[in-house]
């Protein structure tokens, strides 16, 4: 018996059975090589822009991503926004510069020499740039140390080791070059004076919950204040001049608070991110906090970082990244909190750190557990969910009823 031939593009089962052939298989849509081309989904939705009036911005896609080789945990930028430092507990501590052609380049690698002498001091959990000493970077480590690095000499300068457990975060004072604070899993915050060579103040509230994040207030007349958030869901405002009790205490989230940030353009707003309840909340501490937050954003995933956008509508816009279940960077506007107004999707694993460029409102840098450092641009990388949302919601029930919203 002569075997039947199966023709390309037809259903083999139909040919063998002798049934009428089905229509050819629909080819997979071509992936456009030019990033300015619209995808098939965008064309089907009818949202492509046919206007030829405005030129399309094309970024240098080739040089805007750098692979560090290990997962990242933190990132910080210098005061000019021209350089930034990325660190990770697996032994990554690198400084990158941003060129005029929108590309990234490695400027310094503090762990370029692999040897057995390298210790936990070379495995940073958090990094911070001293904006009053441009050549100094501080890091924290899992052994409780706070380490200082010299960028010019590309080496470890000195360190303090006073925390009893892992140091989780640190922040240099916005105006005093020798003052900084660090937090730890030992539930304390230490204030250091580099001129003295040790910590000068210890802030403890009696809680046993790990302190996850902290930040100095940057507004005039409030530079003596800083906030600290912990695993109990509590945020505390401290006055550095008083170590006996916090200036203000309020419960912000169910579960841990992973991030707390003063608003750069409003003196009395704080944004907090909940690691488990998936909310970003905006608090006005000039009034009674018993009334709850002034804004709430449900993100859909546990919040790792929630940062104010320092440009434009900085009093209303924030960026967030997730601990798990979401690899996107989302930008939110509290005036429309139900879905992000822009999302960035180049990372393949959780995004753990964001750094804004102080003099460029259209670009920012992100780092993730995939080891990637990416220079993101709103003009070519942003995906805006509002463009894909249906204007009218409609669904049909099993009994035939139609619901319209």
Pairing of strands 225-230, 211-216: antiparallel
Confidence (pLDDT) at 314 = 65
Confidence (pLDDT) at 61 = 61
Distance CA 216, CA 170 (A): 10
Checking if the pLDDT of 196 tops 60, the result is: yes
Q: Provide the whole-model pTM.
A: 0.79
Distance CA 321, CA 111 (A): 27
Q: Which residue has the tokens 């990158």?
A: 96
Confidence (pLDDT) at 311 = 81
Q: List strand residue ranges (DSSP E) for 117-164, in order.
A: 126-129, 136-140, 145-150, 155-161
Q: What is the pLDDT of residues 44-80, one digit of tens each?
A: 333 344 334 433 334 456 678 999 999 999 999 998 8
CB 205 within 8 A of CB 247: no
If we measure between CA atoms, which residue out of 128, 50, 36, 47 comes closest to residue 87? Answer: 128
Checking if the pLDDT of 287 tops 80, the result is: yes
Mean pLDDT over 128-151 rounds to 94
Mean pLDDT over 34-38 rounds to 39
Confidence (pLDDT) at 366 = 96
Confidence (pLDDT) at 99 = 85
| Neighbour-count burial of 153, counting CB atoms closer than 10 A to its CB (0-12 exposed, 13-18 middle, 19+ buried) | exposed
Mean pLDDT over 348-359 rounds to 90
Checking if the pLDDT of 269 tops 50, the result is: yes
Query: What is the average pLDDT score of the chain?
Result: 84
Checking if the pLDDT of 18 tops 50, the result is: no
Confidence (pLDDT) at 88 = 93
* CA angle in degrees (0–180, nearest 5) for 369-372-377: 120
Domain boundaries, the chain: 66-387
DSSP state of 14: H
Checking if the pLDDT of 376 tops 90, the result is: yes
- Give the confidence band of 389 by pLDDT, cuts at 50, 70, 90: confident
Checking if the pLDDT of 249 tops 60, the result is: yes
- Would you call 12 helix, strand, or coil by DSSP? helix
Residues in the chain: 405
Mean pLDDT over 366-388 rounds to 92
At 43, which helix (H) or strand (E)? Answer: helix 40-45
- Give the confidence band of 128 by pLDDT, cuts at 50, 70, 90: very high
For the 66-387 domain, the top CATH level (class) is: mainly beta
Confidence (pLDDT) at 115 = 53
Confidence (pLDDT) at 113 = 60
């Amino acid at each position: 018996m002569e075997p039947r031939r199966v023709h390309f593009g037809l259903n083999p089962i139909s040919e063998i059975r002798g049934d009428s052939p089905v229509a050819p298989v629909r080819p997979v849509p071509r992936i456009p090589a030019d990033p300015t081309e619209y995808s098939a989904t965008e064309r089907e939705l009818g949202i492509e822009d046919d206007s030829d009036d405005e030129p399309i911005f094309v970024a240098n896609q080739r040089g805007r991503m750098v692979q560090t080789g290990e997962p990242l945990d933190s990132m910080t930028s210098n005061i000019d926004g021209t350089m930034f430092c990325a660190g990770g507990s697996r032994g990554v501590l690198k400084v990158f510069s941003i060129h005029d052609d929108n590309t990234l380049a490695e400027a310094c690698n503090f762990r370029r020499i692999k040897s057995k002498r390298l210790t936990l001091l070379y495995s940073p959990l958090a990094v911070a740039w001293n904006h009053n000493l441009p050549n100094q970077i501080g890091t924290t480590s899992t052994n409780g140390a706070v380490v200082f690095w010299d960028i010019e000499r590309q080496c470890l300068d000195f360190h303090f080791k006073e925390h009893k457990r892992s140091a989780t975060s640190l922040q240099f004072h916005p105006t005093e070059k020798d003052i900084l604070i660090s937090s730890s899993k030992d539930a304390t915050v230490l204030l250091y004076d580099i001129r003295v060579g040790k910590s000068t103040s210890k802030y403890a509230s009696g809680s046993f919950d790990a302190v996850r994040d902290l930040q100095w207030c940057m507004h005039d007349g409030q530079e003596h204040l800083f906030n600290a958030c912990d695993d109990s869901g509590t945020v505390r405002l401290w006055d550095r001049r008083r170590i006996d009790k916090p200036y203000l205490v309020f419960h912000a989230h169910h579960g841990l608070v992973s991030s707390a940030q003063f608003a750069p353009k409003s003196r009395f707003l704080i944004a907090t991110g909940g690691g488990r309840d998936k909310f970003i909340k905006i608090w006005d501490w000039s009034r009674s906090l018993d009334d709850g937050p002034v804004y709430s954003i449900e993100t859909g995933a546990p919040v790792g970082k929630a940062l104010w956008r320092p440009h434009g509508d900085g009093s209303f816009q924030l960026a967030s990244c997730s601990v798990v279940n979401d690899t996107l960077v989302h930008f939110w506007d509290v005036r429309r909190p139900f879905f992000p107004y822009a999302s960035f999707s180049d990372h393949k694993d959780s995004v753990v750190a964001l750094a804004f460029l102080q003099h460029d409102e259209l670009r920012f840098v992100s780092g993730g557990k995939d080891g990637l450092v990416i220079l993101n641009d709103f003009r070519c990388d942003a995906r805006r969910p509002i463009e894909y949302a249906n204007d009218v919601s409609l669904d049909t029930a099993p009994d035939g009823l139609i619901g319209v919203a």
